[in-house]
Structures are given as C-alpha cells and as structure tokens.
Amino acid sequence: MVTLELAIGILSAAIVVFFCCAALALLILQDQLEVVAAQSARHAARGDLEQLDDAKSKAPRGARVEVSKVGGWATSTVTAQRSWGRLGPFTVTATAAAPLEPGE
C-alpha cells in the first residue's frame, strides 16, 4: 500500500512542479514584453526609428509589436502567445506609453 501512496505523491509533486515552471515561464515572458514595450514607446516618442527597429527586434519569437502616436503620446503594445501541448494558448500583453518629445 505504501508503494501506491508514494507513486501518487510523486506524480502529484511532478504535476505541481510542471505548473510552477509554466507559471514562471509566463512571468519571464511578461517581463520581456514589458521591457520591449517600454523601449519601443520611448524610442517612438523620440522619433528615433533606428533604435525603434532595434527595440522591436528584441521582442521574443512570435511576439507582435504595435506602436502608435496619438494625442501627444507614443504607445507601444507587445503581445505574444504561448502554449504547452493542450494547455493554452495563453496570451500575454504589455503596454507602455511615453510623452512625445518636442518636435515629434
């Protein structure tokens, strides 16, 4: 009987570890998206297109970067989807805004 209980306990622990790793991966992805969104908004506000393209290239694989200038603000939204087999897809989004520099 102890063997069955041990097997169920190990399986349960493995499932918990898997979900913790998946949640950690999503948190890391969120942080990466926030960094790219902030850099993209800042460079768009400055009108620095070369640095804006560089910031966009740092986005994680498969991420979509959208930059707009409306009402004196440059806004950047970065979106990515991740899935683990039948679990997901999860959509992670980060948005940042920066005031336009004078002359932009």
Say if CB 62 and CB 90 are below 8 A apart: no
* Closest-CA residue to 30 (of 84, 91, 88, 75): 91
pLDDT single digits (tens) 51-88: 999 999 999 999 999 999 998 999 999 999 998 778 77
* Closest-CA residue to 33 (of 81, 87, 68): 81
pLDDT of residue 83: 86
Mean pLDDT of the region 25-39? 95
**With bands split at pLDDT 50, 70 and 90, how would you rate the model's confidence at 103?**
confident
Here the tokens at position 63 are 């991420």
Q: Measured between alpha carbons, how far is 19 from 90 in angstroms, rounded to an integer?
A: 13
Q: What is the pTM of this model?
A: 0.83
Instruction: Please tell me which residue, 84 or 6, carries the higher pLDDT value.
Output: 6
What are the φ and ψ backbone dihedral angles of 92, each rounded to 5 degrees?
-115, 130
Mean pLDDT of the chain: 92
Report CA-CA distances (Å) from 14 to 4, 17, 85, 102: 15, 5, 16, 55
